[in-house]
Amino acid sequence: MLAIERGRRGVYNIVDDEPAPVAEWLPALASSVGAKPPRRVRGWLGRVGGGEAALAIMVQSRGASNAKAKNELR
């Protein structure tokens, strides 16, 4: 409600402070849409196949941030 009543125009991610790593949520997403579970690949092979950036996204990425909502909707 705060985003609707007081927020500036734009997108606010309303998520918890500890986003799940890709390895946790991607299999659940695949299952929910009837897709096969994602393959697990060793880091060195992922780096060779997709590059450092792709590996970082799959290993380190934590999804959405709630920083904007926390800062602007107090």
* pLDDT single digits (tens) 11-64: 888 888 887 888 888 899 999 999 999 888 888 888 888 898 888 877 777 678
Residue 30's domain comprises 2-72
Burial class (CB in 10 A: 0-12, 13-18, 19+), 26: middle
The pLDDT of residue 10 is above 90 = no
pLDDT at 28: 93
Q: What is the pTM of this model?
A: 0.55
pLDDT at 49: 87
Number of domains in the chain: 1
Q: Which of 72, 62, 64, 71 is nearest to 15 (CA)?
A: 64
Q: Which of 31, 13, 4 is nearest to 71 (CA)?
A: 13
